[in-house]
Homo-oligomer: A and B are copies of this chain.
């Protein structure tokens, strides 16, 4: 079916994406394997060899992503020494890294709905102590329940910049 309609230019095109915080976050997190490394870190897998075996990432990709995430202050590199062995390093989430938990939880929820086997998701997130399952939800600051994702919409934020010229 082909629609013929008067075009409404999307409002978003009036604004630049050059300082978009989502784009900037994705300059880090959009690198292939970055979220897989974070999944390992959230799972308490902190050592290079364990991460490599558990994630299946190549050593080169894993090494590059760890360096990026350390450089960006998302992981902290920490020296350790097993009995008699040489000094090695492990990688743990910083506060900035732990603040990615809602993103990981949202990915996990979506994956549980659309990518899991019939017997259910391989991993879930629990509330410490209480044991309840934890999910990532859209929450309205004013306190209204957000019934469905269709009830929300993006809009220019305080840092939005108008596009100067259209060619």
Contact = CB atoms under 8 A, between A and B. Distances in A.
Contacts of A113: 99
Range class of the A interface residue count: 35 or more
List 4 A-B pairs, minimum CB-CB distance, nearest first: A21-B111, A132-B142, A120-B158, A101-B149
Nearest to A8: B44
The quantity of this chain's copies bound in the complex is 2
A30 B155 CA distance: 25
Given A1-B79, A115-B21, A133 B125 contact: no
Interface of A: 1-5, 7, 10-13, 15-17, 19-26, 29-36, 39-40, 42-46, 50, 53-56, 78-83, 87, 96, 98-117, 119-144, 146, 149-161
